[in-house]
Amino acid sequence: MTKVQLEELREVIHPAGKLESRAEHWAGRLYMRSLSLRVTRLMLGTRVSPNQITTVMVFAGVLSGVALVVPGLGGAVLSVLFMQLYLLLDCVDGEVARWRRQFSPLGVYLDRLGAYLADAAVMVGMGIRAAELGLNLYLVAGLAAAIGVLLLKSSSDLVHVARSDSGMQKATDQSVVPRSSGLARVRRLTSAVGLHRLVNGIECTILLLVTAIVDLALGDLTATKIATVAVTAIVWLLVPAHIVSIVASSRLK
C-alpha cells in the first residue's frame, strides 16, 4: 500500500477552520495535531478502527487519574504522560474516521464517555494524592471536584439533548452568546483569565506535575494540597455560573 502524503492527508483530516474552532484544544493547535497527523498516517496502514482507538483513549484517560495515586514525582509524570496519550488518541481517532469516512454514534458516545471519565479520574486521583491515601478532607475535595466536573460537562451536553428533543438543530458557536450584556462581559473575563482550564484533565495534570516538583523541594505535599483545594473551589465557582450562562443564553431559546 502506498503511504499517503502528509499534505494530502492534512487537507482531509484538518479541514479549513478545524484548528481555529472553539472546540480545538490549545495543545492541539500548539503541537498535538502535528504529531497526530503522522501517527494517523501510520494507523491508516493497519486494520485498527476509529472506535478501537477511542477505546484505548478512554483507558489512557482513566489511567492518568490512577497514576496520581503513585507517590512522588513519578506518579505526576506518569499522569501527564497518560493524559498526553489520551489527547493524542483523541486527535487520531477522529482523523482516521474522517479519512476512512467511518462515522458512528458509538464513536461519538465513546469519545464523550472518555472526556467524562478522564477529567473525573484526574480529580479523584488528585484528592487521593493530597490525602496521602487516607480518608480526610482532601479526599472529599477531590471527589467533590470530580462531581463538579461531571456537572459542568453534562450541563453542556444536555443543551444538545434539550434542543434535539425539542426538534431544534444542534447548537452552534452563534447560539451560545449570553442575552445579558453583563453575563457576556463576565464570560469574556473568565475566558481571558483562563482559570476554567484548570478543571480540565490536561491542564490539571500539568499543574499537579508542577506541584509535585515543589513538594519534592519542600519535602511534603503542601503544594499539592493547596492545588487540590484551589481546583475544587474553581470547579464549584464555575458550576453555578456555567448553568446560569446556559439558561440565560440563546442556546435554549
> Residue 208 falls within a domain, yes or no?
yes
Structural domain tally of the chain? Answer: 1
> Residue 84 falls within a domain, yes or no?
yes
> Residue 100 falls within a domain, yes or no?
yes
Question: Averaged over 100-120, what is the pLDDT?
Answer: 94
CATH number for the domain that contains residue 170: 1.20.120.1760
> Residue 188 falls within a domain, yes or no?
yes
Print the SS3 string covering 165-177: HCCCCCCCHHHCC
> Residue 1 falls within a domain, yes or no?
no
Question: Averaged over 138-164, what is the pLDDT?
Answer: 94
| pLDDT averaged over every residue in the chain | 89
* Of the candidates 215, 239, 192, the residue with the CA atom closest to the CA atom of residue 73: 215
What is d(CA 240, CA 233) in angstroms, rounded to the nearest whole number? 12
Question: Averaged over 152-170, what is the pLDDT?
Answer: 88
Question: Averaged over 189-195, what is the pLDDT?
Answer: 61
Reported confidence tier of residue 127, pLDDT bands at 50, 70, 90 = very high
pLDDT of residue 91: 95
> Residue 53 falls within a domain, yes or no?
yes
* Lowest mean pLDDT, pick from 23-37, 61-75, 103-117: 23-37
| 102-110 own/partner pairs: CB under 8 Å, 24+ apart | 102/49, 102/50, 104/51, 106/51, 107/50, 107/51, 107/54, 110/51, 110/54, 110/55, 110/57, 110/58
Question: Averaged over 135-141, what is the pLDDT?
Answer: 95
Residue 188 has pLDDT above 60, yes or no: no
Place of cell 465513546: 110
Print the SS3 string covering 56-110: HHHHHHHHHHHHCCCCHHHHHHHHHHHHHHHHHHHHHHHHHHHHHCCCCHHHHHH
pLDDT of residue 191: 58
Reported confidence tier of residue 182, pLDDT bands at 50, 70, 90 = low
pLDDT of residue 175: 47
Domain span holding position 171: 6-252
What is d(CA 222, CA 203) in angstroms, rounded to the nearest whole number? 19
pLDDT of residue 172: 64
Question: Averaged over 157-173, what is the pLDDT?
Answer: 82
Q: Does residue 16 sit in helix, strand or coil?
A: coil
HSE, side-chain direction, 13 A CA sphere, residue 144: 18
Tens digit of each residue's pLDDT (9 = 90 or more) over 219-233: 999 999 999 999 999
pLDDT of residue 163: 87
